[in-house]
Amino acid sequence: MKDSSLIVGFGTALLVIYVISKLLQARKNAGLPPLPPGPKSLPLIGNLRDMPTSDIFAPHHWIKHKDLYGPISCVNVLGNTLIIINDAQIAFDLFEKQSLTFSSRPELTFLNMVGWNDGTGGLPYNETLRIHRKNFARIIGTKATASQFNKLQEAEVAHFLLHVLDDPENFEKHIQKEVGSVILQMVYGYNTEQFKKDPLLAMMTKVMEDFTRSAAPGAFLVDSFPALRFVPEWFPGAGWKKLAKQMAVELRDAVEKPYAFVESQIAEGKNSLSYLSRLMESSGDTPEDIHNNKWTAASLYSGGSDTTVAAIAAFFLAMTMFPDIQKKAQAEIDRVVGSERLPTLDDLDSLPYVDALVKEVLRWHPIGPMGLPHTSSEETTYEGYRIPKGAMLMPNIWWFTHDPAVYKDPMEFRPERHIEDHGCKPEPDPRKMAFGFGRRICPGKILAENSMFLNIAQSLAVFNIVKKVVDGKVIEPKAEFQPGVISHPAHFEASIKPRSPQHEKLIRSIEQTFPWQESDAKFLERIEN
């Protein structure tokens, strides 16, 4: 009975606060320009019922808004203004041309309680973010600086080919392993276990799973009612507070332990090439410097791991579905590179069709289909519509890359659209949208592009990726993608085999070119919490 009274009392207080705030807001907004059009909202919950559920691919849901309300529309969810952008030019106008106003991030209370507010992706547009981006620019911000990691990336992709050759059924698992390994190498100089579970990779994977779960819109009520963070853990329905504490401990370990590993390696004179070691050499040692160094390193992993896995998986799905395109890319590789070696980043400019294929993967399935939300740092207007301070803006990137007014036959997978032909300009480069906008563009963009090219070019060079046949029946793959902030292809079957005995021999030779490195897991075990 006591719990019931508390809940009723708390609910009544929320209702009173809501009514008062709505009255005050109505007076404040009198005479101002209108918000972008959208569905009529209900008292208290606003347009909560108009939001996509967690099992729906969000871009398809918001395209309906474009048809009903135009390229820019608006919903109100529990008092929060959400603006949906269904036109690429509007996104460029706001996020590029007015980047000072639209470069901040929404404050998600649950993620802040876990600690993600210190990560680059979650920072508002402030001095700390500018420091983060300066650090990234100094160490990995150009092709020249990123090239220090070329051989490292080539080695990890080559090891991936070996894993796929020996165990093609689990290629999706090998993608995850390879992407995580190469990022841990680049960021921390850490060598993962290649043939068994690696403790640091497992730790980082768990943290990323927690982040994906926590960042989903509407995942936790406290994001809509921040005052709930003051509710005690024993309060009915407040179990999420214990979950936040648990996730916070795991996140702290994922930030602190690899940093301590790099510190110990430097102290023992084992400093290897890594983003963090280079950053520590060139930055100060104040508490602020150390904090920012830890979090820029952790942010490179969180921003690059899941996204790259999704993109490479989408490539394998596309090759399974479109064998003729695969053959065209392989013919180009055979003509330019031959079969005596693997393609490298030095071959990129000589492989225009493969480069176009990389772009088409990002267009066909942008891995962040609704991007990361931007917020307005001040009230402003656009095309006569009011955008309130603190409004959350969501770009429908999937629609941007499938708009038939921009891309001819957008549902077709056609790399040729990115190649100039007989004076016809190529269609817009999807990378200008897939990696974010303006001052929030992905800071690891060059490394991600290099990773995608190497994975795609080297896989095509040595493997045939075809539809799987079971008991004489061909399993037809489907272009189905999972909902989420980062969208992965739904599980699909594929048959991956060497193109010839010569190609298998080439893969086997990798063990001599890039010998397996001893794991650093034993050093990690020495590090105290």
**Residue ranges per structural domain of the chain:** 32-526
**Two tokens, residue 314:** 């989408």
404-453 pLDDT, tens digit per residue, is 999 999 999 999 999 988 778 999 999 999 999 999 999 999 999 999 99
pLDDT of residue 202: 94
Q: Which CATH class is domain 32-526?
A: mainly alpha
Distance CA 242, CA 333 (A): 53
pLDDT of residue 221: 80
**pLDDT of 257 above 50:** yes
What are the start-end ranges of the H helices in 386-444?
397-400, 431-434
Q: Is the backbone of residue 254 left (phi > 0), alpha (psi -120 to 50) or beta?
A: alpha
55-113 pLDDT, tens digit per residue, is 889 999 999 999 999 999 999 988 889 999 999 999 999 999 999 999 999 988 999 99
146-171 pLDDT, tens digit per residue, is 999 999 999 999 999 999 999 999 99
SS3 content of the chain, % helix, strand, coil (to 5): 60, 10, 35
- The Cα angle at residue 413 between residues 410 and 419, in degrees rounded to 5: 90
Residue set of the binding site: 442
Residue set of the binding site for heme: 442
421 pairs with which residues across the strands? 424
Nearest to 136 by CA among 372, 306, 299: 299
